[in-house]
Chains A and B, each alone.
Chain A
């Protein structure tokens, strides 16, 4: 079994599906001979040919529109948005077409497509390269939105995304791309797209997170453990549709919940989870649900980005607030 980084796990999953399903094609800007700006498609054009791994003209609306068109005609295109900041020209095709095609044709045409996009801050990138706007997509009915937080989940969830009969937005936290290595077997085993993953079991507080914030969340849990506090960690992974059952079960056990996200606070996924806990889990809670989020500001350029992003200290601050309530 190979030890791979998250970006290598993405490449492994793409290669596996290109190998086993002739309907799968990869397309996007620089995904061909260059292997993608983050090397997520490294070697794929050389291995599968330029008809399967397709360099496109520089036109994001066109990439998304053609991806919709190909998907309706029986292919399984996996498009790359080079950065989440460049996804906006694709937005119309995702929201107005991919998300609606099955419903509006009563299933006559469907969109089994994937759009992958690296996202999030923390790598000193230029302007428009560091935002976290996953909630904009999670708000749209008809698509699934998936965010891996480790190499193995990137592999298993991307396989499931490509095989899904419905359109999937697959957002890859680029700060995690080279963060660590994990043993991932290239066995074609997919992970489910309808559940959260309990990463660490605990009894005192539930920490809910996804994407790159898993790193700080685990570090916070380690620090809490040293203080004798047992934190349960949940990786939401598929943020839409949202598996609230796993979160409710955990909160029923711990009675306390802190949600950690890199995205801005207002109308975000943490808002949805907190509202759901207030609606369905209020009597399980011993303390108010707290959120550790990015601020409601334009994502700062990299001189200030660290101060924007939730830190271990900010997580511990909120955890102690919910633990203080007796």
Chain B
């Protein structure tokens, strides 16, 4: 018997949980402190926002909300590595990436507040909206990537699934498409160890989830998803490859969902508290602060200022969300088609008449 192919999965980490920089070749970004400080600020803003959103849900001012607690490094790493012209195909909790790309905090609240206008967000108009049917965004990203390739544009598509989503057909079909068409695409797996109540080990016996990309012949690696520098570096390299016409990559970012799945979930039903407590020592914000502090780039005064500005910014976003204009009953009819069909126009007129009658 001879070996016809063999594979390996590398793991990339630059910043240890203690905030120490490791590795032989340190990327230039590790010394770009202006950039890292702005990233740190966005991480803290995202976490402040997240806590506020959960509080809004608990007090009846927001619908079900999917928290991003603990995912700040991987989400913002994706957002920062991308160009504006690239297209982002998120699942539904990648707010950090989207804030980096210009989506407003209030727009995230609008969406979870039951208002479609949230998905008509600021930031790149070509980005996909939040995608609740798991992993379907992966084939959309593949389609976008094929469009870019056919038009000869130097752009790429980035999709995100979780560890649960990596079990779905659309993710695997997107890997296959990315391989068959050699698409400018990056398929991210944000492995936060839990798909609602099902742990990572029940999704697959595979040692890594990244290795699913190997089946399509795609370069596939694992990164420390709580290490911004590693995520940014890996995504940036994968995008460079995509722009150069060399095809797609798969990146599995290892992180941990510190929150419930959504505000409608109670993780204490299935997840041991000590596991969560243990995971907190690996979380992304603490290690970035330690690193910046150790490099003389951060201190308590800056931290206090940041906490204050984040609070002000989040409060302003909440205000904007709560003061959003009312939707009219007509709104649900007006965006169904480019031109409203005759019978739907009749339904709309009836709905409006009934509305006036009950208001009048």
Contacts and interface: CB of A to CB of B under 8 A. Distances in A.
B138 A65 contact: yes
Contacts of B253: none
B143 interface: yes
B125 A97 contact: no
Given A62-B173, A66-B140, A73-B126, 19 more contacts: A51-B150, A57-B177, A62-B139, A62-B177, A65-B174, A66-B146, A66-B177, A69-B89, A70-B146, A72-B128, A74-B147, A93-B136, A93-B139, A105-B116, A106-B119, A107-B335, A108-B119, A108-B120, A244-B343
Interface residues of B, number: 42
Interface string A126-145: 00000000000000011010
Contacts of B116: 103-106
A101 B143 CA distance: 15
A239 to B, nearest CB: 12
B22 interface: no
B140 A96 contact: no
Nearest to B150: A51
Contacts of B150: 25, 51, 75
Contacts, number: 134
A105 B89 CA distance: 14
A243 B342 contact: yes
B264 to A, nearest CB: 20
Interface in B150-172: 150, 157, 169-170
Interface in A33-64: 51, 56-57, 59, 61-62, 64
A97 B126 contact: no
A20 B336 CA distance: 28
B140 A102 contact: no
Interface of B: 87, 89, 116-117, 119-121, 125-126, 128-129, 133, 136, 138-148, 150, 157, 169-170, 173-174, 176-177, 180, 332, 335-338, 341-344
A194 B342 contact: yes
A72 B337 contact: no
A89 B125 CA distance: 28
Contacts of A96: 133, 136
A69 B173 contact: no
20 contacts: A56-B180, A57-B177, A59-B173, A61-B173, A62-B142, A64-B139, A65-B140, A65-B173, A69-B89, A69-B140, A70-B143, A71-B143, A72-B126, A73-B126, A93-B136, A97-B136, A103-B335, A104-B116, A105-B116, A141-B336
A62 B336 CA distance: 24
Nearest to A60: B173
A68 interface: yes
Given A62-B174, A73-B148, A106-B120, A68 B143 contact: yes
Contacts of A93: 136, 139
Of A75, A105, A166, most B-chain CB atoms within 10 Å: A105
Contact of A72 (B140, B173, B174, B336): B140
A81 to B, nearest CB: 15
A103 B121 CA distance: 13
Nearest to B148: A73
Nearest to A143: B337
B140 A241 contact: no
Contacts of A70: 143-144, 146-147
Contacts of A107: 120, 335
B107 to A, nearest CB: 11
A107 B105 CA distance: 21
Contacts of A101: 129
A105 B119 contact: yes
A106 B117 contact: yes
Contacts of A166: 337-338
Nearest to A276: B343
A242 interface: yes
Contacts of B142: 62, 65-66, 69
A164 to B, nearest CB: 8
A108 B125 contact: yes
Contacts of A62: 139, 142, 170, 173-174, 176-177
A203 B97 CA distance: 65
A92 interface: yes
A243 B146 CA distance: 37
Contact of A69 (B117, B143, B176): B143
